[in-house]
Amino acid sequence: MAQFITVKDVAREAGVSTATISRVLNNTGPVAQETRERIEAAIEKLNYQPNVVAQELVRGRSSVIGILTQHSTAPFYGDILNGITDGLQNTTYQPLFAHGFWSTEKERAALQVLISRRVDALIVVSGDVPDEDLIRLSEKLPLVVVAREVPGLEKRCLHVDNVRGGYLATRHLLDLGHRKIVHITGYQLSPHQFDARDRLQGYRQAMQEAGIEVQPEWVVEGNFTEESGVQAVDRLIQQEVQFTAVFAGNDQMAFGARLALHQHGLMVPEAVSVVGYDDLTVSRYAVPPLTTVRQPAHKMGVTAAKLTLSLLGKSRFVMPVFSNELVVRKSTRKLQR
């Protein structure tokens, strides 16, 4: 079994008190040069590794950054969290994750837990907690928000223009000649789902510009899961809704929609074109490869970590511009008259 060297062992070896060792390690008081050299020699001889966490706590810091996310198993959030972790590599900070599961009360409770752990900063990924709560938190400690825009915290929010993303997806289908375009939203997950709201707005904007009145049955609620994509298409087929294209609010729902279409004997893209959103890694390997709107989830995560570190270090940070782009693959085609 490995031997764990403590500060008491160092004090015994150097012939001094643990308080004197503490003054040397934390540089918190005068120590005679000869005594300091004796302590340093003891540290080297015993290969003593100071407890960095304990030292930081003494200084009022934890070297921990709290991360509030919704569900780490969702691929989009997973990409952001991986980016945050990558952005904290080779620093003294470690991430501490908590989940809100799209519940305001659970998010508030998770934030309280993180704060009770004396985190040095917070990164909030999307979520349902009210804007005013986040603004109050930002007055107490450094706070960065990802995949969401909070009025009053614009310089600490990292997000893409989801209205533009929804517009790009719908405009692509319109340019291919489609007019009866269904949109599957993520509203079942939360009535305050900001990205779902904005993507729906982009869809409506593109349809309005094309002079097409959106029929109520063309907008179907999902919850950003594959299963809800299947259920949305099943419902459309059962209600005999006529459509030639589907714009799903994320790639996962697009995968579900594609499966349901296949189960009903409708080929993609021959019978129905399908567009997703996010450009998950698996999207390029789907059958057929999925046309989607790419947003830089991993890059936003890395940038969130760097922005947080700059706030902690009170250093200047230049925020990059995040943009989404249409990625055309084989799940869409020109409407055959």
The DSSP call for residue 279 is -
Average pLDDT value for residue range 233-254: 97
How distant, in Å, are the alpha carbons of 12, 124, 311 from that of 65? 36, 11, 12
CA distance 69 to 53: 24
Least confident window among 139-143, 207-211, 248-252, 267-271: 139-143
How distant, in Å, are the alpha carbons of 18, 20, 25, 140 from that of 30? 14, 9, 12, 34
118-159 confidence digits (pLDDT tens): 899 999 998 888 999 999 999 989 999 999 889 999 999 999
Confidence at 1, pLDDT banded by 50, 70, 90: very low
Residue in the block written with tokens 């790009």: 168
Averaged pLDDT score across all residues of the chain: 90
CA distance 292 to 209: 21
Q: Which superfamily, per CATH, for 64-159+297-322? A: Response regulator (3.40.50.2300)
Question: What percent of the chain is modeled with pLDDT above 70?
Answer: 92
Tell whether pTM > 0.85: no
Hey, what are 245's tokens? 């294209």
Domain ranges of the chain: 7-50, 64-159+297-322, 162-294
Kindly tell me if the per-residue pLDDT of 189 is higher than 70: no
Kindly tell me if the per-residue pLDDT of 249 is higher than 90: yes
Q: Which residue has the higher pLDDT, 116 or 302?
A: 302
Q: Does domain 162-294 have CATH number 3.40.640.10?
A: no
The length of the chain, given as a count of residues: 337
Kindly tell me if the per-residue pLDDT of 61 is higher than 90: no
Whole-number pLDDT of residue 308: 96
CA distance 20 to 18: 5
CA distance 116 to 100: 16
Hey, what are 147's tokens? 């995949």
Torsional sign, CA 261, 264, 269, 273: negative
The DSSP call for residue 293 is E
Whole-number pLDDT of residue 187: 81
Whole-number pLDDT of residue 289: 98
14-46 confidence digits (pLDDT tens): 999 988 988 887 767 788 889 988 988 988 888
Kindly tell me if the per-residue pLDDT of 242 is higher than 90: yes
What DSSP string describes 113-170? HHHHTT-SEEEEES-SS-HHHHHHHHTTS-EEEESS--TT-GGGEE---HHHHHHHHH
The rounded radius of gyration (Å) of the Cα atoms in the chain is: 26
Element (H, E) at 116: helix 104-116
* CB-based burial label for 239 (10 Å; 0-12, 13-18, 19+): exposed
Kindly tell me if the per-residue pLDDT of 60 is higher than 60: no
Average pLDDT value for residue range 147-174: 95
Residue in the block written with tokens 């019978």: 271
Whole-number pLDDT of residue 40: 87
309-322 confidence digits (pLDDT tens): 999 988 888 888 89
Question: What percent of the chain is modeled with pLDDT above 90?
Answer: 67
Q: Can 64-159+297-322 and 162-294 be said to share one CATH topology?
A: yes
CA distance 292 to 330: 10
Q: Does domain 7-50 have CATH number 1.10.10.10?
A: no
How far, in whole angstroms, is CA 240 from its chain's centroid? Answer: 37
